[in-house]
Structure 1
Amino acid sequence: MIFDTKVAILVLEDLVTWQKLNVTAFLATGIAGAAPDAMGRPYEDAAGRRHAALLGQPMMIFAATPETLARAYRQALDRDLTRAVYVRAMFSTGHDEANRAAFRLEPADAPDLVGLALRGPRKDVDKATKGASLHP
């Protein structure tokens, strides 16, 4: 199936594994929260038990350098893509309110990104992620 939109998650390539997984998980929830129309239907197992819905389209996970993240962020702003962000300072916080406060302290045009998720028209997301390679 071909989708009109694309979801891409860019994660700083030199993070340790737990940080990459944590950032990816948080960013995926950000996209799901910002785009409820992208959610599929709840799952049901063979016993009839309901399980949570998942995003209804694939998410591409990219390894990125700081420069690639900064470029993708600028492109996402220019193209008005749905964005979820994770900055380095958020690793030292312990809850959502502190995360938002940490992000608000970042320079608006050059936050210290360690992760960025994007959703929007395929061509625009492709242009924003140009130069990033799929995560190994």
Structure 2
Amino acid sequence: MNARTRWAGWACSTRIAVLLREDLESWQRLNVTAFLVSGLGTTLPEVIGAPYEDADDVAYLPMFRQPVLVFEGTKETLAAARTRALSRALPRAVFTSGLFGTGNDRDNRAAVRAVRTGDLDPVGLAVYGPRNAVDKVLKGARMHP
């Protein structure tokens, strides 16, 4: 069963997707994904479900109400996806290569702010929106293995 088949049962009209540059190390892929989706969850309350509780009444934080699909692609695929996300005005988060050299939130924002849009070197992009719009943004990307 592939990843697309696994999520076929989720009948969502919207999609949360992360696109990672294919040349990242494993630890970078995980780190970038976590950072990117945190931006969506904190800004778009409609993507968050209700809190969890186990049978012993122990409470847990809420999570996304739908799967997060993770894709990978070349540097060019990522650049094209970012351009398409911008042109469709989809909610998005970006992680640039410069963020690997910073150590805190203030420096992260400064590293992105210092570079013009067309000159950013994105290694990851998260988008949220209508399923068909997100699918068009991700054209040319493949599901993460």
State the TM bucket, normalised to the shorter chain.
over 0.9
Q: Percent identity?
A: 47
User: Displaced runs of 4+ in structure 1, greater than 3 A?
Assistant: none
Report how many aligned residue pairs link the two structures.
136
Which residue of 2 is the match for residue 111 of structure 1? 120
Q: How does 1:1-136 map to 2 (within 5 A)?
A: 1-136=10-145
Q: Structure 1: which 5+ runs fail to align?
A: none
SS class of match (2:116): coil
Counterpart CA distance in 2 for 1:93 and 1:118 is 23
Please, what TM-score do these two structures have when normalized by structure 2? 0.91
Q: What displacement does 1:109 show?
A: 2.4
Please, what TM-score do these two structures have when normalized by structure 1? 0.97
- Paired letter, 2:132: K
Contact in 2 for aligned 1:106/1:112 (Cα 8 Å): no
RMSD value over aligned CA atoms? Answer: 0.9
SS class of match (2:120): coil
